[in-house]
């Protein structure tokens, strides 16, 4: 058998394995896909495609550090800079909050494929997460100009909130809902920004719609509780705070406000239990959900 024939047979076998692995990946049979791609990597360690698909498979299993190793290998062995590899690598870096590395590779990806909206969205999200609000807004606006989507308007709205620009945020979030009526995060964010602006009548149906989409959303329940509390409907407020706690037992502000309501209606034992839980959560280092959410946008 000639060397050329051996090489051709090996290539055919590698392509067959790659196709099998991709099929398993599409079917979300991730364990089998991983086995196939690992076999391909062991046979051809410098095949960037095998490492690329192995990285995607590992990432979808939330094994992000392993995915990064595979994707770094894919980048190393690629014959030329590949925007798809860079995008997946940047997304993996984002998952483990390695923001600077994520920014670097995603900027390369967008330079190589400037029309790919998904890559710009991810880069914008990295800027948002790094608290570079103006840069994030610029990326989201570029996406919206060419490929408007509910997600792009949602990210823009969240960025505008972080920048303290409520009216542009409301407009962006309404646009997100217009494009994707079932986008839960947009309903919750819009309801929240409206409620904080004292526009409770507008906020209430938006938050109610959020609960139609996902009845266990803690933040929607909590915001409705605050609205009920402001209008003096203590029974509704208490029910909303209880629903918040059912969805998120460590929601400090829900426990705090439930304690206040219990005191106001004269339920002393319930109030004491709630205050005890507040103290317990504070002692354990729990924070207001707002403080937990480090992903805030601001100008530099």
**Which pLDDT does position 15 carry in this prediction?**
58
Q: Report the alpha-carbon distance of residue 133 to residue 130 in Å, rounded.
A: 8
Query: Is residue 61, in this structure, part of any structural domain at all?
Result: yes
pLDDT in tens, 186-243: 999 999 999 999 999 999 999 999 999 999 999 999 999 999 999 999 999 999 999 9
The reply to whether 121 falls in a domain is no
Q: What is the pTM of this model?
A: 0.84
Q: What is the pLDDT of residue 298?
A: 33
pLDDT in tens, 60-100: 999 999 999 999 999 999 999 999 999 999 999 999 999 99
33 lies in some domain: yes
Query: Which domain CATH number covers 50?
Result: 1.25.40.10
Q: What pLDDT sits at residue 8?
A: 36
30 lies in some domain: yes
User: So what's the pLDDT on residue 288?
Assistant: 55
Buried b / exposed e over 136-174, threshold 16 CB at 10 Å, is bbebbebbbeeeebbbbbbbbbbbbbbbebeeebbebbe
Beta carbons of 47 and 40 less than 8 angstroms apart: yes
Number of independent structural domains in the chain: 1
What is the extent of the structural domain holding 17? 9-79
Q: Is residue 35 part of a domain?
A: yes
Residue 58 falls inside a structural domain = yes
- 65 found inside a domain: yes
Mean pLDDT, range 15-37, rounded to an integer: 89
Is there a domain that residue 63 lies in?
yes
User: pLDDT at position 58, please?
Assistant: 96
Residue 293 in this model has a pLDDT that exceeds 60:
no
């Amino acid at each position: 058998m000639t060397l050329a024939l051996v090489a051709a047979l090996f290539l055919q076998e590698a392509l067959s394995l790659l196709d099998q692995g991709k099929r398993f990946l599409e079917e979300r049979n991730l364990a089998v896909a991983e086995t196939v791609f690992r076999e391909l990597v062991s046979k051809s360690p410098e095949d960037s495609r095998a490492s690329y698909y192995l990285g995607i498979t590992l990432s979808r299993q939330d094994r992000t550090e392993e995915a990064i190793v595979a994707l770094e290998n894919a980048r190393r062995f690629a014959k030329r800079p590949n925007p798809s590899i860079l995008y997946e690598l940047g997304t993996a870096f984002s998952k483990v909050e390695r923001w600077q590395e994520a920014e670097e590779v995603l900027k390369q990806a967008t330079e190589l494929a400037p029309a790919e909206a998904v890559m710009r969205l991810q880069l914008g999200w990295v800027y948002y997460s790094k608290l570079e609000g103006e840069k994030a807004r610029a990326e989201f606006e570029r996406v919206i100009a060419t490929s408007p989507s509910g997600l792009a308007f949602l990210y823009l709205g969240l960025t505008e909130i972080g920048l303290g620009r409520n009216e542009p945020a409301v407009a962006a979030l309404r646009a997100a809902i217009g494009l994707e009526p079932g986008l839960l995060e947009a309903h919750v964010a819009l309801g929240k920004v409206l409620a904080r602006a004292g526009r409770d009548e507008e906020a209430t149906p938006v938050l109610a719609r959020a609960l139609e989409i996902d009845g266990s959303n803690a933040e929607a329940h909590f915001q409705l509780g605050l609205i009920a509390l402001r209008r003096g409907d203590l029974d509704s407020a208490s029910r909303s705070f209880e629903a918040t706690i059912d969805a998120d037992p460590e929601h400090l502000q829900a426990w705090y406000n439930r304690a206040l309501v219990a005191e106001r209606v004269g339920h002393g034992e319930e109030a004491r239990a709630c205050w005890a839980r507040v103290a317990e959560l504070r002692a354990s280092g729990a924070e207001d959900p707002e403080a937990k959410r480090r992903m805030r946008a601001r100008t530099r």
